[in-house]
Amino acid sequence: MFDAPPPDYADLARTDRELARAWEIHRRRGSLEGCRTVAGKRAWDALGELLGGGSAARAAPEHARMHVEAQRRWVGYLTCERIAEPAEVELARLADEPEVTVELETAVAMSYPDAIRALVAAREPARRRRLLAAVAERSRELAPRAALADELRHEAASRLPGHDPFASALGAPAAPVVARAEALLVRLRPLVRDLVRAEEKRLAAAVGPADFVAMGAAREAGVGWPARLSTRSLVDVFRGPLRDLAGRAPLEAAELPAIEGASSFARGLELLGARTKDAGAAKSLPFALARDPFSPEGWALGAAFASLVVSPAFHRRALGLGAAAARDQARRLVVTALCEAEKRAIAALVAAAGADRYEELTTNAFGAPLPSSLARLVPRLRGGHALVRFTALLRGALAAESLVDRYDEDWFENPRAGVDLAHLASAPARGAAPSDGELGRAVDLVVRTCEEALA
């Protein structure tokens, strides 16, 4: 399953070209089967020798060590993805079939992704609940295929000596991140219960998990936003060097979410930030150092960009709202941020502990359980991505706080902030992992921000 001729890793530049080609194929959802020179056990072992223990290690210059470590991280990731690829392709094929039947005005058949989009877009509680029930029913049929793909990744990782997928994704052990996800859910629980009680009072009806989706969409916070969500409309919220930097982000229209409320712009800003890090990488950096399969630095920058939507200063200066309207709209989007933090924490815990805890976690979060069949599918974050995205949310909160401290609340318009962020973006794609103390401070910051805004 893993065999391939061992490549010559003395030529690191050639390996980078092969990795870049494999990544582009994977990104475009092509087949990695023809990329075994950088997606197999022999490649993993060869790079391991360069890092220590064998004759190749003595020949490898010390300055290449970081480069080789980055290449090995890519090889581990691509190997696991290649082995899981057939199951993922089959999962995507089944999900695209119009097998979700929903009784709306009439019986409607739609694909799984379309049903989820319809659930997010639904405005009436009864409609949302019917869509959620139909999505859950289809999930029971798709979940075994998703589980198979995850099991294949795990099996592939187990055959790569010394490979810990979670530690590779995070750059550190997963246990502290898992503990912080648990802590965040516990501390957000009283706020969520208050929000649910307020929504029940407004609707004069019980609120379930489907209604929680609508609460996070922030449709009532739509004043001042562009009519269309595009790369241009997102870039235009910045000024000076930061606008120039974000304008180079390789963000394609197909990647952007449909507008289902102000939360769509938050997700768009997050994606723009992640792509901005990719665009800002120094041209002199080799591929394996300029890009990372999990992009922890990129998603952290994305979370900092997304945090703008909870800043009244952003609503005043970028969207043109008056002071009172800006405070009110930013407060409404804190609910979106809270919902997103809950979802990210749950996804991280499911990734680390498995789907068995999903019903318990969603009951604690939403007041009623979601079927465990949804655990591996909504959202579909593979391998260590769920842990990285949760960590990025915490790191983004710290980064946004630092930007406000250094450049004031309008940092997104400050030329000096743009120059400094461009410098940070030019650094390698993988920096130092946050310490447990930093993660703890970030949890405190997220909770405090929500508490103060919703008081």
Q: Is 388 exposed, middle or buried (0-12, 13-18, 19+ CB in 10 A)?
A: buried
Contact 391, 295 (CB under 8 A): no
Distance from chain centroid for Cα 25 = 21
* Rounded-to-integer distance, Cα 198 and Cα 180, Å: 28
Q: What is the pLDDT of residue 62?
A: 56
Q: What is the pLDDT of residue 174?
A: 95
Residues in the chain, total? 455
Residue spans per domain, the chain: 12-94+143-163, 175-454
Cross-strand partners of 107: 103
Q: What is the pLDDT of residue 29?
A: 81
Please give the backbone phi and psi of residue 140, each rounded to the nearest 5 degrees, phi first. Answer: -60, -30
Cα–Cα nearest to 351, from 386, 380, 378, 379 = 386
Q: What is the pLDDT of residue 253?
A: 77
* Rounded-to-integer distance, Cα 404 and Cα 449, Å: 14
Note the pTM of the prediction, 2 decimals: 0.93
Q: What is the pLDDT of residue 103?
A: 85
Q: What is the pLDDT of residue 60?
A: 53
Token couple for 184: 């965040």
Q: Which residues in the chain land under pLDDT 50?
A: 1-8
Contact 382, 157 (CB under 8 A): no
Contact 372, 358 (CB under 8 A): yes
* Rounded-to-integer distance, Cα 199 and Cα 209, Å: 12
Cα–Cα nearest to 350, from 375, 374, 367 = 375
Cα–Cα nearest to 78, from 291, 352, 351, 348 = 291
SS3 of 181, please? helix
